């Protein structure tokens, strides 16, 4: 799957949507942030078993739907190091590649099937924040 997205919008959405990742070590998957692509809508979510947050942005273009989990901190560092307005992201089975003027940055991704469904995981004593 290939995604083209505005770099600044992606950085802002990842900072918000990934805010809960890494705060709960009882489930290793919660160290990651889930990114789901459906049509031109990209949803970025994190969950710490008490609070969940999701934010959404639109891609400039993409060639498919899918979802994966990534370390939000690592992805943020990579995106902030670039100076282009648009970012091209290629996702395959085990890695995410960011194409830029000087080359390609790669980082591992994890399948999203182990990430809790936030609507199912939302309990009476937890908080769900959805930003659109």
Along the 132 residues of the chain, how does pLDDT read in single tens digits? 999 999 999 999 999 999 989 876 678 888 999 999 999 999 999 988 888 889 999 999 999 999 999 999 999 999 999 998 999 999 998 999 998 888 899 999 999 998 988 764 444 444 456 554
The pLDDT, as a whole number, for residue 17 is 92
- b vs e for 47-71, b when ≥16 Cβ sit within 10 Å of the residue's Cβ? bbeebbbbbbbebeebeeeebbbbb
Residue with token string 């194409």: 99
The pLDDT, as a whole number, for residue 130 is 59
On whether the pTM is more than 0.75, the answer is yes
Closest CA to 35 of 80, 77, 91: 91
């Amino acid at each position: 799957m290939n995604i083209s997205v505005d770099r600044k919008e992606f950085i802002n959405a990842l900072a918000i949507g990934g805010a809960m990742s890494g705060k709960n070590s009882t489930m290793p998957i919660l160290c990651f942030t889930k990114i789901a692509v459906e049509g031109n809508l990209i949803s970025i979510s994190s969950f710490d078993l008490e609070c969940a947050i999701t934010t959404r942005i639109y891609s400039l273009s993409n060639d498919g739907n899918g979802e994966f989990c990534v370390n939000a901190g690592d992805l943020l560092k990579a995106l902030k190091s670039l100076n282009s307005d648009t970012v091209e992201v290629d996702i395959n089975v085990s890695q995410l590649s960011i194409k830029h003027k000087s080359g390609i940055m790669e980082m591992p991704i994890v399948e999203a099937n182990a990430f809790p469904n936030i609507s199912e995981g939302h309990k009476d004593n937890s908080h769900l924040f959805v930003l659109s």
